[in-house]
Structure 1
Amino acid sequence: MSHHHLIIGGQRSGKSRHAERLAMRWLAQSPDHAVTVLATATASDEEMRQRIERHRAERPTMFQTLEAPVHLGQALRGLADARRLVIVDCLTLWLANVLMPLLPQIPAVSASPWADLKADLLFALRSTASPVLLVSNEIGCGVIPMGADVRHFVDELGRLNQDVAQSCAQITLMAAGQAFTRDVEVWT
């Protein structure tokens, strides 16, 4: 069974903070344990730059942070070690970087490269020795977006979350800073 955990919820629901608390418990279990955060956010404007800086400042200092705005599966494979817990924060921004990049150094990808990047991430999750905490937003609970691009993004994030959940032993829904966790049922 997988040792991965999907933490999902709305914006400002406490997802990242919960992942950090779980990672601190992981560190307390053994002096050989380490934590690396794969950060997917890019500073596309001043407000986002401030969010990124706030996350960095609030993150425990013993956590290593690496940026992985596009090639998340590759980054995850590069960290594979049973003694290293990896926090992916977050899948929502990773998908936005891939489907709707705002920075010129991140080129837009077509449907085929997106499918390849997603398949690469799912393969990395199935094959890595590292336990992984994956943070993502649940954005499909509201009204259907008016624009085709936004509907496509919402649909792809929903599919991504479902596919990632298949590689996880636990899923936590965050609401108002409270964690609601359950073990994933495996269908055969």
Structure 2
Amino acid sequence: MSIWSGLLLFFLTVAGMEVFAYVMHRWVMHGPGWFLHESHHRPRTGRFELNDLYGAIFAIPSIVLIYGGVQGGWWEGYAWIGAGIAAYGAIYFGFHDIIVHERVRTRYLPKSSYMKRIVQAHRLHHVVNTKEGTVSFGFLVAPKPEDLKAELKRRGRAGVRAPAGADRTFAEK
């Protein structure tokens, strides 16, 4: 396989992972996998949360594909696909865990309109702490924050958590 074919496969995989991440987040994590993901919509009490297991689970196909494509005698394209999955995971960790949730402290402040948009969309996702009623499940592609706010308002703010220090009935209003 040429380097150009491999790179194309790599970048197509990174792009395809956005679709996979949306589907998994919307219908698995906010569905039957809520028992793990719920910890991510609650204040973290330690360094880790149950939701972190998803990172380990999603790393397995990447590791298997890279190994198979490099050492296992499989089609070498599998290594490029595995590398694309790993790259998406690294992008996700950098954006989601470092920039948005500040699990690793930095002095980074989003300046571009794109970065501001996806950070705000993810934060609007987290104003809802229930399995249902959440908006914005994507990661690299996100709706406009104004549209997300309008959708939350249309839903009657169901599941929206109260601001820190506010009466808990706020979320029910």
Give the alignment's TM-score, normalised by structure 1.
0.28
Higher relative contact order by CA 8 Å / sep ≥ 6: 1 or 2? 1
More helix by share: 2
Give the alignment's TM-score, normalised by structure 2.
0.30
